[in-house]
């Protein structure tokens, strides 16, 4: 169930954006997401819930990397946790960038972002 996580940094960083700093940052994001998902498994969440959170965390990673490569500053943060805290995920996630995203997609994404924010607060 968690095997696809190994590939996530490659999914998030396209060939032209594979700077060493960005790859390290993407790997740090993946590691945080992995620990959060392991906690969900230990809390005996249903497989469908874990799959949904896994998919939404993949989307969050994509949105984070996209904002860093498309944004005006294009500076890669030194710390993935601090960057995620700065997004104020307890209020929901960033707006989804893909055009066919529905309100339901955003609501599910926001739910997972809040789960991640609570997990990070408990595991500071």
Encoded tokens for 98: 């893909």
Residue 35 or 12, more confident: 35
- What predicted TM-score, i.e. pTM, was given to this entire model? 0.92
List the domain range (segments joined by +) for residue 48.
3-122
Residue 13 or 58, more confident: 58
The domain total for the chain is: 1
Burial of 111 (0-12, 13-18, 19+ CB in 10 A): middle
Nearest 5°: CA angle at 46, between 41 and 47?
80
**Alpha helices for the chain (secondary structure H):** 8-12, 20-42, 47-70, 80-86, 103-122
> Is residue 15 very low, low, confident or very high in pLDDT (cuts 50, 70, 90)?
low
Mean pLDDT is lowest, of 25-39, 63-77, 106-120, for 63-77
**Interval 19-35: pLDDT, tens:** 888 889 999 999 999 99
Q: Determine the Cα–Cα distance for residues 25 and 100; give it in Å rounded to an integer.
A: 27
């Amino acid at each position: 169930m968690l095997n696809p996580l190994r590939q996530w940094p490659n999914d998030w960083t396209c060939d032209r954006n594979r700077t060493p700093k960005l790859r390290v940052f993407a790997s740090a994001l993946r590691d945080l997401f992995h620990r959060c998902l392991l906690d969900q498994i230990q809390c005996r969440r249903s497989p469908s819930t874990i799959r949904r959170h896994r998919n939404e965390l993949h989307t969050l990673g994509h949105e984070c990397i996209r904002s860093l490569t498309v944004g005006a500053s294009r500076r890669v943060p030194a710390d993935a946790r601090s960057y995620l805290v700065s997004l104020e995920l307890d209020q929901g996630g960033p707006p989804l960038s893909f055009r066919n995203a529905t309100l339901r997609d955003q609501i599910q994404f926001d739910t997972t972002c809040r789960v991640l924010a609570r997990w990070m607060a408990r595991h500071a």
